[in-house]
Amino acid sequence: MQNENIISEVMKYKDKLYRFALKMLGNEFDAEDVVQEVLVKVWQKSDQLELIDNKQAWCMTVTRNLSIDKIRGRKSTNASAIEDYHYLTDTKPTPDIQTEDKESLSIVMKTLNSLPDNQKEIIHLRDIEGYTYKEIAEITGYSEEQVKVNLFRARQKLKHELRNFTY
């Protein structure tokens, strides 16, 4: 019964795990594989997970580590495009608006992808997933101070690079 409670708790944030893996891997199939591996690990270690206070952070850390392993295994890194997260509203925009959106998105993505990997990862965890500094530190293994410094530097660079950008 305890195994089922832990599994059901972890299932509540499987979508976050998937988005995080997808962001790191840039491939839906690899992201699904990683999330499946995480769920298997949760099942195998469910008796030990009762001792962990923040199960979500533990699962995010496992997701991160498995994603890094998968990246190392294929010997190349693919940055996920933000187009995966960019959904248009129900009212279909005109072709000129679509072109402008695509160009704007391309500029923002180019700027975001120019950040160092650790800054991209921290920005994703903070601004997209909404984790606290403490949770990000637990997930990444950086100190809270390193998380704050990297987030500040990433935001400053984005602000500087996009200062003349209007959409």
pLDDT of residue 133: 94
> Which tokens in the block code for residue 159?
């602000």
166 in a structural domain = no
- In order of 27, 59, 65, 66, 164, the CA distances from 37 in angstroms are 15, 11, 11, 8, 44
Same structural domain, 53 and 23 = yes
Q: Could you read off the pLDDT of 107-116 as tens digits, one per residue?
A: 888 888 889 9
Domain boundary among 43, 74, 105: 74
Residue-number span of the structural domain to which 121 is assigned: 95-161
pLDDT class of 3 with cuts at 50, 70, 90: low
SS3 content of the chain, % helix, strand, coil (to 5): 75, 0, 25
Q: Identify the CATH number of the domain in which residue 141 sits.
A: 1.10.10.10
Distance, in Å, from the CA atom of 123 to the CA atom of 152, rounded to the nearest integer, reads 9
> Which tokens in the block code for residue 139?
């997930």
pTM of the model: 0.53
Question: How many domains, in total, are found in the chain?
Answer: 2
pLDDT class of 91 with cuts at 50, 70, 90: low
167 in a structural domain = no
pLDDT of residue 135: 92
Domain boundary among 74, 105, 132: 74
Q: Identify the CATH number of the domain in which residue 32 sits.
A: 1.10.1740.10
Distance, in Å, from the CA atom of 26 to the CA atom of 86, rounded to the nearest integer, reads 14
pLDDT of residue 48: 81
105 in a structural domain = yes
